[in-house]
Structure 1
């Protein structure tokens, strides 16, 4: 299974600043093994050294239109409304 990477973009420069590899199957860990806690800790550490906007999207459906709407909503909550101008990719 391919690894999935979360990319954090520096607001001031617009360049990639960090990657947090995370397997899409959560590495085989069941509930209660601290995956969310680890991600929250990592993001908190990143925000201590630079100003970041963190955008998190939970995927509960394999419906692309629902996912795209979740992406647009998440970016809009963070102040980035430009994705509202784009239709759902096919």
Structure 2
């Protein structure tokens, strides 16, 4: 129960603080959205990733899976381009 509360309470505190600020101040939603997208979300992702323990044995599998997806995508798109009769710079 303590683990659930420690995960949920901060979310509700931040949401409550946001609701109070919204009522007290007239904030521009477009500016806040841009700040959120370009500053806060990348900071959160970086913070979360920097705290993770990297298992190097899984890194090779991930790299292989990524390379396979790219290779299959390129192959598939080349087949589609040939079927549509595209050549040269029109393929990309």
TM-score, normalised with respect to structure 1? 0.29
- Structure ranking higher in helix proportion: 2
TM-score, normalised with respect to structure 2? 0.29
For CA contacts below 8 A with separation 6 or more, give which structure has more relative contact order: 1
**Which protein shows a greater Rg?**
2
